[in-house]
Every structure is written in C-alpha cells, then in structure tokens.
Structure 1
C-alpha cells in the first residue's frame, strides 16, 4: 500500500532496474505524465487506453509489470488479469484508482495485486519508487525460486548419488547421510544421524591416517585418502574419501562434508593384479629353474636306479633307494605344479585311487630326518600318535600332491613346536567323504593369522617361508573336490582337517610293463646326447647294461659330427642345450637319408605336454628325472617298431 512507502534517500537510491512497463489508463493526459515519470526513472514504457489493447500488447511483447487503472471503458482491471491468466500469463501488477476504497483494495490484493495506489497529490512522486520496489521484489522472488530449484536439484542429485555424502557438525556428529550411505553401511538414517563416524571404524586403518585427517581439515584444508571401514553386519569395505570443512562468513568451521566412494572392488582387483605380477615373476623363475632342477634330480634318480640294479636283493638298501626315487619323483612333481600354479592352469596329472592312511605314513617317513634325526641331535623330542589312523575308503587323487600337502602340514606342526611336542593323526569316514586330521600341541595361531593362512604368499616364517605352501594346499584340495580347514588356539595348538570325496571307481596307477616281444639289443646302435655329463654317463651305463651299442656325447655339435660319420638306430637327445639345441639335432637327423628314430628328453616339465601334442616327428618324449623302467620300455618299443617297419 502507498502508506508503506517512505520517500527517503534509501528508497530513492534503490538498485537501478531497467524493465518493461505497460501503463493501462484511459486518461490520456495522466497516461503521458506517468510515461514521462517512469522513463526518467530508467524504465521502458508502453501505453494502452483500454483492456483489449493491454491484453494484445502483453501477449505479443515482453512485459515485466502492469500499472492498471481499476476501471476502464471496456473492462475492469480484474477482468484483464483473469483474461491474461487464462492465456497462461502471470504478470505482476499494481492497481491505480481515483478513490481510496479500502474494500476495493482488499479485493484486488486478494486477486494478486502487488500494490494499490490512489491517484492523489503524492501519486506521481511515489509511482517510480513503488514500481522499482515491486520489480526488485519480483526479481528477488525469481532468484529465490531459481535458488530453490537449484537446491532441490542438488538435493535430488545428492539423494540419488552413487557415492556417499555425509555431513557432520564441527564436533564430527553426523547431521546428514544420503541413501547410498545406508545402502553401503547397513545403518539406517535414523541410526546414523547424531552418531559419530567412529561407528564405522574397523580398526584396520592406522591411527596416523586419522591424525593426518584431523590436522588437515581442522586447518581449513581438504583431505583425501582411503579407509578400511566396517559395515553394521561386521563386513569390511574400502572407501576413498574427500573431506572438506564448511566455514561461515566469519571464517569459522561449522560443518564437515565428506564425499566417499566404495572402492572395495578396486582394492580386490589391485590385490589380484599384485598377485598376478608375483605369479608372473614366479613363472619366469620357475621356467628358469625347472630345467636345471630336473637335471639335478635326474642325476640323483639315475644313480639311485643304477645302484638298485646292482644291489643283489639287499632289501634294506633297495627300500632306501626306492624312497630316494619316490622323493625325486615328488620333487619333479613339485616343479611341475609350481609351473602350473604360476600360469594358473589346471593340473594335467591323472587321478588314481589313493588310500590316505598310506599317504600319511609315507609323509611321516619323508619327514623323519626333521622330526627325529635332526631333532634328537639338538635335544628335542617329537612324538607321532598314529593310533587314530584307521582304514578308510580310497579317494581319487594325485598321490604326490596329497603327500606334498601332508608333508607341508607336518613340517608346519613341527615348526609350531620349537621345543618338541606331539603330532596326532586321525582318519574317519562320514557320509561320502573321507576325513584326515593332523593336530599339534604347539603355540597356536592368532585369529588374523588363521584368516590369512590360505592366502597366496602369506607366511609367518619371514625370509624362511615362501607363502606358497598352504595356498597351494588349498588349491590342490579344491582341485580334488575337497575342503581343508583350520582350528587353532593360542597356547593349545592347531588342527588341520582335510575332507575328500570317496572314490566312486577304482583307478590304478599306470605301471610300466616289459614289452611282450623282445629284441636283440646288441643289434642296435644308440646315440645319447645331453650337455650334463652325469646324465649322459648314466644313460650310457643303463643302456649299455641292457646290451645296446651306445655312444654318448655332451653337446649338439658333437652329436651332428657323430651322425655325419656314423649310423644309429636311435638318437636320445636332450632338448635344452646351449649353442646347438635339441631342435637343431632333430632337424639334422631328419635330413639324413637313413631313417633314424628319435627320443626327446627334457627338464622343462611345463612344455612337455605341448611337445607331445605337436607333430615334431619324434618317436617319444620323456621328462627328467627319468624313470629307467619307462625309458627302457620306450626304447624297446621304438626299436621294435623300427624292426617291424624294416621287415615290411
């Protein structure tokens, strides 16, 4: 109303607003005076002397405010407003009248009038000020609506955000959390608000991180980092957080806002990549040592087999030599499995019927030097309780792999009893499964150690441990369709329990047999090629004792020289030799006019299967360490085949 307007300096110095005004007045003289007054105030003015003109102008032009004479020749101000509203035009308006009728003023204010002015002596002076005041109000209202829209949009964005948004007061009490918070943590909004973020702490994030966080944000800066937090149900999760202080106009921190992203999957991927890199490194190492290690095993196995041949029935020595050969075979299997493991490939070894009581007893024999001989020498005593070992059905599996796991658990049990102690064994059958438990009365394990015991590369033995033993055991048992579990208490000891499915069929281990048809060995010449002198000499001795005419050389170059001047029925060649390789020797043999049989030996267990599957033109492939009986049969079968081809 007019009486609310003060003609003072503060109003006259209002912010200059240049807008479009339409004056709807049927008194042409007054209309011109109003036009002059408003233009002097910097406003753009249009004139209309009746309602129809006013409506047409508003519909076709941009108008910010209307000055309406209440009573016009063709319609009233109210009718103009209603007609425009029907056309979806909501224009702010001021009513002008020649009579100060309070009832009329109330009516028009209810209709939406911004003000009501009487055409009296102060009318022309106050009009520009009133118009500008109304225009400013309208502009402020528009800005407020836009701000509310932006705020609503921001609110919707935060509510629907795929990341957590969390607001706390200056004392770190939660004031707001978005739905993503409740979805991830499991806490409801009601449970979270008023609480401290400490409810999510897992104890896994170092205290130094929290100190750095508070030092940063309390100084007014943004902090970014990662937390390992805990959900309401106890499950751990990782989040990346960006936390910033909110300050008021006086620069005082009033709140903190945190934007957090769940990075649990990323952390798992990172861990997987790290493990993959370790596996790649191990793969390179495994490939490098496989050949050399198998060469060493071949020498040990070869001499043991030669000694067994000359033992003349001494059972004690023969059993010892066979134990050496079995250990060599297991060592070779370990190299092969390491290669498979680093390539994350499925094992190619065949499963046979295995009796776990026999596996356990063999593992005890294998570890005897550690728990008996070495222990007694240092004044320690270990006892092994095997009364719980009872006959159980066979399982399908790899004897060497199951023996390796058992040996590993026994060694761990001994390590857990540095002053001596007892290792107990039990077997039993339940349902369609066979169970084996191995327990010790050692120092036991903490819960965090138990939680990681089957993790790849996890070890409690420092530089002495590889972190592969139990993770490999876990993988092997899983490959056998079984389970392995652990129970442990500090100061009481540990119990490893293995569950394996009962075999539904009997599969015997392949045993090489002598060829049913003999050959006259002295009629055949064999060339042995191996760059390891000891292996070359062992093969020479073995084959010579069987009656063959054997030459042996220690390089590919020497082999080619011999083949250029001598004729052989069979060449047994190592694959991996320096300079002139086994591949080179094979190519040269194939170039000769006389067909010569070829046997390939290799210490690279990881490529043995690919060699067998490729069309190399070789007659047999055998891996190191070499089983003499198998080699003898392969040689005999190959030469027998040659003699049959010659007859044909």
Structure 2
C-alpha cells in the first residue's frame, strides 16, 4: 500500500464513530445492515490480492485490492472484525513476499510500505476499541446518574432516555424513545408546551439555554410533580438535538413548604420571637416583637439586645441568663424591658441555644410574651383577695359589733321608757345622746359592710331625700375641710325604684370627682327636684321617655371642662387626672347605672365656671304600708302569740326576750338549733313564730332550722336576723319568700314592727 493510500485512510478516520464515517462519494450504511456481505467482500478482496501478487510484479497490481481491504476495515462497525482484517493482511503480506515475482523493487521497501498500512489498521482497531470502552463508560455514567437525562430533536421527539429519567417518570426507555416529550408534561400545560416546542429553535431555547428552570412534570401514573430542568443544544455536523437534565425536586419542594409554613408560623406567632448570634446581636425579629416593642426589624437587626434593657433591671439576672444559655441550657424567667417610646413592660421569656449538626451553638432563640397586663391583673387579683380576706374578717367583726350595738341601743330604749327616766329630763337627754351615738355606730358599720357587698343589684323603693340627708354627714367627714357641703331637697321628691347601694355609690362618685376638681377648696352642692317629661318636651341631652323623674344635681365650683373633654368624659377609662389618681371609670359607671335604671345623665360645664352633673331617675310609687306611712314612733304593736327566740349571744337574746315580753308575747328562748328542734318536737307550748339568728350553734344554722320548721308546720311564721355583710345572704333570702330578714343592729321599734308584720302575714 502506498503512502497516499494511508493518507486517504487517515482522512476517512477523522470521525471516531465508525457508524458516522463517510466518503463523499460512498455510503457504507449497508455494512451495518448486512455484516455477511461485508465479510464476503473482505474475503474476495483478500483472494484477489493473493492472485494478483502471484501473477503480476510485486506490489503493483495487488495495491488496489489491498487498499480496498484496508478501507473496509476502517468502515467496519465492529472493532474485533477490524483486528481480523489486519491479521489477514499481515498474513497476505508475508505470503506475497515469498510468492510474488521479483521485479527489482527492494524487499525492505515493500515490507515497510505494507507494514505501515497494517500499522495504520492496527491503530484504527485500537482507537475503535478505546472509543467503544469510553462510550460504554459514558453510557454507564449517564444511565446511573441520579438526574434524568433526556435527548430530543427540535420537534420534541425523544431520542434517548436514561435510567434516572425512567425512575423519575416511570417510563421504560423502550416505550418512551420516539415519543413526544409532551407525554412528560401535565395536560393542563399542553398548550404552553406545544407553543414552546413550535418556537424552540428560534426563541424558546434563548430563555432556557444553560439556565435552570422550574416546571411541572407528569409521571406515567398521572401524578404531577415539580422538576428542575436545564437544556443545552448538541450539534453533530448538520444534526441538531437538545439534551435536557432533569431533577425531581418533590422532596425539596415539600421541605421548602414546611420551612415556609414554619417561617409564617413564627412571623404570625402571638408571642415575640427573637433570634441572635452567640454575642447577642439580633438577626431576626417577628411581627409581634415589633408590635410589643415598637421597633421595626431594620431598627434592631444588627444591634445588641441590650437596647431593650430597662435601667431598673437587675444585672445579676442578665448574668445568670447568659451563663445558663452559654452552657447550652434553657433559661426561663421574667424581666422588664423598655419599648421604643421608653415605656417599661414585662415579659415572660424562654431563651434556648440553637446548635448546628456538629453540636456547636450558632444562635440563641428567645420566645417572649408580654405579661404587663397579666401582672397588673394578678396584682389587682391579689389586692382583691386581700380585700376579700379583709372583708371576711370585717364581716365577722361587724357581726359581733352589731350584736353589741343591738344590746346598747335596745337596752337604752328600754331604759328610756322607764318612768324614772321620763321624769328626769337631764338623764333622758344623756341617754338620748348615747342612743344617738349607738345609731351612728350602726350606720358606720352598715356603710363599711356595703363596701364588701358582692351580690347582684336588688332594686327597691328608695326615698331620695332621706338618702341625701343621711349622706350629708358622711360627705362632710369624707371631703376636705376646705370644701363646704350643702344639701337641698325638693318638697315633691319621693321615691325611685333602684338599687340603693348603687345610687349611693353613684352620688359618692360624683362627690369625689367634684372634690378632685376643687383642690384649693370650694362648694359642693347637692339638690333634688322633680322633672316631668311629656311629648312636648324637647329631645336632646338627656334622652328621657315621657314620665316623671327625680333629678339629683351635684355641682361644684371647680375649674370646669372644655368642649373636647366633655365629648369624651363618659367614655370608659377616659380621665384627665394624673396617673394613679383615677381609673376613668367613675362617670361611665354613673352613666351606665342611670341607663340601666331607665334614666340618664346630663353634664353642664365650661372652663372656670365649675361643673354640674344631673342624675335623672324614674319616679316610683311604693305599695303597701310604706305608701301610707308608718305609725307614729311612740306607738308599738303588741300581741299575745308564742315566739321561739334562738340567739347564741346572751345579751342580745335577753334584750329581744325582754322587749317581746313587754309587748305581751309569750317567749321561749334557746341558744342553739338543737334545743330549738327539741322545743318544736315537744310541741308544748305551740310556737307561732320562730325568731332566729342565722349564725347559731348546733347541727342547723338559721336557714336550715327555718326550712325544717316550715316543712314540719307551714303555719308557723319565720323571722330571721343577722349582723353579717348585707348582700351575702340576699340570694338565699330571695329564694324563699317565707324567709324575712331583720338586720342587726335592730331597735325596739324595728323588732316590734317586724314581729307583728310577720305574724299578720
């Protein structure tokens, strides 16, 4: 073989893929399709070489078939066949050397020429083998890649499909190659996909080339899932195709969604969340932190947490916090911080370290709750519990004190009825002063107990003028000496149907507000009058229905209020007083009481002219004996019925028994419920009225004893008495109309009338 033949062979071998080799004027695809024809052609050429070398000058006639044999080796698609051809050519070279005629050409030249051609064939065989091995490694790498690799032409027809793509989409390579990539696209996205494929060679690839894009893909079973796609063009001569690398990101998308949910949960958390680095530099705060502290995230991120530290905070507390969390432990506690406005607030916090995979602390997480209101509530509750405990103690003391007052006032009345006292004016005056002091003591005890009253409001017919007159002395003592208190009552003012305790509380609230408006002193004036509203009365402030109303006007000579303050003065918690001097609930509670009672409140005020507040309450008409008027105080009703008195205080019992006997009644007395039951069971004498204290020794208290008596004989009347807190027993009294209560301290007159009324009922 000549050198030009070798050059031609090398040019032919420029394409390393045996399946792609071409002469410009020859097409050897038949070699791949018919291996037997290729083998036959090689044998024919080898025979011709042998015959030509025998019959012609050496190396001349045999060159043409030898070149053809070599070229077939280059075109052969099987590397082992190339080796076979090279071996045959080597054999023929040796045989030719001994069989061919000598024409004067040096032997070494012939052997060198033929050997060089054989070397070229052997190198081509080795190169083909190496390519096959590399192709195998490349195919194995592609097939075993975790990502899917899909090769498709510009029309979207799939040309190759690796094992990673098989795992991702569920299709085998044999059933997907030759199909459209549209099979891998969700049906809902088909229109977009078809448009993309139609414009892919021109414009579609521009937006995706060498870029990672997110798409929705479709599994063989129809499931839609997210994937990442990177597309690159591949050119092999005039042939253009595209290779797509795909990654199933379902697990990552789910993890990202969980992270987003966690992020939203932290951001929308009802408690403050702060994340810092190990030095306490803030890296993250949530929305609740901003709401509580007033700082926007950009104002605190990058700064130390000590910007929130209160000057009143204890340094050792923060030192203990850092020592705890630096050691890897969780810290729990409360501390006081300062918001952006400089206002202090209390937080309950849990601070814990955040560790990385190696166990090292990288951040600190602080979860904090604003407990300012809760602490204030707890403080109020503690105060309320303290008041309740004080109230229970006071109630018990008041019960005993009422017994003492009952003894004093009752026996004083009995003593003043003695003839010797009636005839001694000076002594009678002294006893009257003592009795007046006892009554004042009873009034003070009653007002003290009113502060402890916890029952629901109980309306009754209240004589307004009488209530205002009784309040005058209390207000004179309660207010500063620099304030003059005057009370003027109208002649036509009678009763209103309200809770007397709430009415008194409303008037006291108005009086306290008036006092606060006159720090340098002034005049507090309380007046009562009757106001009639009909259809012709102009509507406005106050808003009242047609009818008669009792007007209670409380006015002062204080600083007054401007229009702005007047527009808000009835709003709950609105106050113009200094912090700690008022709650802003006084006037709103008075207004609410008036509205519940069917009335209203009217306020008149201007700067420098004082304030006048008028409370309007519907007039009522009391029924029964109260409407007619009680008998004159010097008349006491009498009787001859038998009364069982149950009272554990011997002095009170002695006064009650002496009074009832003086009124003509037959009296049986005991100091405990067990003895009372024995008297009732014996039936001799027959009892007409049970008069019992509620708190008594024995198996039964006054209520249970009265219930037992009524169950035994419904005709027996019951009158109960007590000196404990008004209101605590209201629910039990109201539950049974047979239970009538005479409160201690009671006077001779009140006892006489109460007993007679009960016996006559």
Q: What's the TM-score bracket when you normalise by the shorter of the two chains?
A: 0.5 to 0.7
Whether the 8 Å contact between 2:149 and 2:162 is mirrored in structure 1 is no
Distance 1:454 1:499, change over 3 A: farther
Distance 1:176 1:520, change over 3 A: closer
Whether the 8 Å contact between 2:348 and 2:371 is mirrored in structure 1 is yes
Deviation at 1:585, TM superposition (A): 5.6
Whether the 8 Å contact between 1:531 and 1:555 is mirrored in structure 2 is yes
- Structural RMSD (CA): 6.2
Aligned residue number for residue 638 of structure 2: 521
Q: Does 1:539 align with 2:656?
A: yes
Q: Does 1:575 align with 2:694?
A: yes
Aligned residue number for residue 613 of structure 1: 734
Deviation at 1:221, TM superposition (A): 4.3
**Which 5+ residue runs of structure 2 have no aligned equivalent?**
1-16, 21-31, 33-76, 79-127, 170-176, 187-205, 212-229, 238-242, 528-540, 542-551, 559-577, 596-609
Task: Specify which of 239, 254, 262 is matched with residue 347 of structure 2.
Answer: 239
Taking the aligned partners of 1:144 and 1:55, their CA distance within structure 2 comes to 27
Distance 1:451 1:501, change over 3 A: same
Whether the 8 Å contact between 1:295 and 1:625 is mirrored in structure 2 is yes
Task: Specify which of 396, 403, 417 is matched with residue 295 of structure 1.
Answer: 403
5 Å matches for 1:129-208?
155-168=263-276, 172-201=280-309, 205-208=313-316
Whether the 8 Å contact between 1:556 and 1:584 is mirrored in structure 2 is no
Whether the 8 Å contact between 1:523 and 1:548 is mirrored in structure 2 is yes
Superimposed CA distance per residue, residues 87-124 of structure 1 (whole angstroms, 9 cap, x where no aligned partner): 449xxxxxxxxxxxxxxxx99975956798999xxxxx
Q: Does 1:625 align with 2:721?
A: no
**Which 5+ residue runs of structure 1 have no aligned equivalent?**
1-22, 65-79, 90-105, 120-130, 368-382, 414-421, 439-449, 456-470, 483-496, 642-648
5 Å matches for 1:166-565?
166-168=274-276, 172-201=280-309, 205-219=313-327, 221-233=329-341, 237-244=345-352, 256-263=364-371, 267=375, 291-307=399-415, 309=417, 312=422, 314-315=428-429, 317-335=431-449, 337-338=451-452, 340-341=453-454, 345-346=456-457, 352-353=463-464, 359=471, 361-362=473-474, 385-386=481-482, 388-391=484-487, 398=501, 426-428=523-525, 434=554, 501-504=614-617, 513-514=630-631, 521=638, 523-559=640-676, 564-565=683-684
Taking the aligned partners of 1:304 and 1:274, their CA distance within structure 2 comes to 43
Taking the aligned partners of 2:556 and 2:469, their CA distance within structure 1 comes to 9
Task: Specify which of 592, 600, 606 is matched with residue 720 of structure 2.
Answer: 600
Superimposed CA distance per residue, residues 459-500 of structure 1 (whole angstroms, 9 cap, x where no aligned partner): xxxxxxxxxxxx9x9999798679xxxxxxxxxxxxxx9997
Structure 1 residue matching 2:695: 3-state secondary structure? coil
Give the TM-score taking structure 1 as reference length.
0.57
Structure 2 residue matching 1:321: 3-state secondary structure? helix
Superimposed CA distance per residue, residues 158-216 of structure 1 (whole angstroms, 9 cap, x where no aligned partner): 44444333344555444432333223333223333455544444556544432322333
Distance 1:208 1:636, change over 3 A: same
Taking the aligned partners of 1:247 and 1:144, their CA distance within structure 2 comes to 22
Whether the 8 Å contact between 2:347 and 2:369 is mirrored in structure 1 is yes
Distance 1:549 1:402, change over 3 A: same
Structure 2 residue matching 1:579: 3-state secondary structure? coil
Taking the aligned partners of 2:208 and 2:485, their CA distance within structure 1 comes to 103
Structure 2 residue matching 1:61: 3-state secondary structure? helix
Taking the aligned partners of 1:393 and 1:290, their CA distance within structure 2 comes to 32
Taking the aligned partners of 1:351 and 1:205, their CA distance within structure 2 comes to 54
User: Which stretch has the larger CA shift, 54-63 or 326-335?
Assistant: 54-63
Aligned residue number for residue 37 of structure 1: 137
Deviation at 1:635, TM superposition (A): 2.5
Taking the aligned partners of 1:250 and 1:48, their CA distance within structure 2 comes to 39
Deviation at 1:391, TM superposition (A): 4.7
Structure 1 residue matching 2:333: 3-state secondary structure? strand
Taking the aligned partners of 1:236 and 1:280, their CA distance within structure 2 comes to 30
Distance 1:210 1:538, change over 3 A: same
Give the TM-score taking structure 2 as reference length.
0.50
Taking the aligned partners of 1:400 and 1:142, their CA distance within structure 2 comes to 72
Taking the aligned partners of 1:560 and 1:153, their CA distance within structure 2 comes to 73
Taking the aligned partners of 1:197 and 1:507, their CA distance within structure 2 comes to 65
Whether the 8 Å contact between 1:238 and 1:263 is mirrored in structure 2 is yes
Taking the aligned partners of 2:179 and 2:759, their CA distance within structure 1 comes to 114
Taking the aligned partners of 1:204 and 1:428, their CA distance within structure 2 comes to 47
Distance 1:628 1:168, change over 3 A: same
Distance 1:146 1:599, change over 3 A: closer
Deviation at 1:538, TM superposition (A): 0.5
Taking the aligned partners of 1:50 and 1:539, their CA distance within structure 2 comes to 115
Larger of the two Rg values belongs to structure:
2
Superimposed CA distance per residue, residues 599-626 of structure 1 (whole angstroms, 9 cap, x where no aligned partner): 33234544543454344646x4312222
Deviation at 1:537, TM superposition (A): 0.8
Whether the 8 Å contact between 1:352 and 1:508 is mirrored in structure 2 is no
Taking the aligned partners of 2:264 and 2:620, their CA distance within structure 1 comes to 66
Taking the aligned partners of 1:454 and 1:242, their CA distance within structure 2 comes to 35
Structure 2 residue matching 1:521: 3-state secondary structure? coil
Structure with bigger RCO (C-alpha 8 Å, 6+ apart):
1
Taking the aligned partners of 2:738 and 2:232, their CA distance within structure 1 comes to 103
Taking the aligned partners of 1:479 and 1:631, their CA distance within structure 2 comes to 37
Structure 1 residue matching 2:630: 3-state secondary structure? coil
Taking the aligned partners of 1:392 and 1:353, their CA distance within structure 2 comes to 11
Distance 1:351 1:454, change over 3 A: farther
Deviation at 1:226, TM superposition (A): 2.5
Taking the aligned partners of 1:596 and 1:110, their CA distance within structure 2 comes to 106
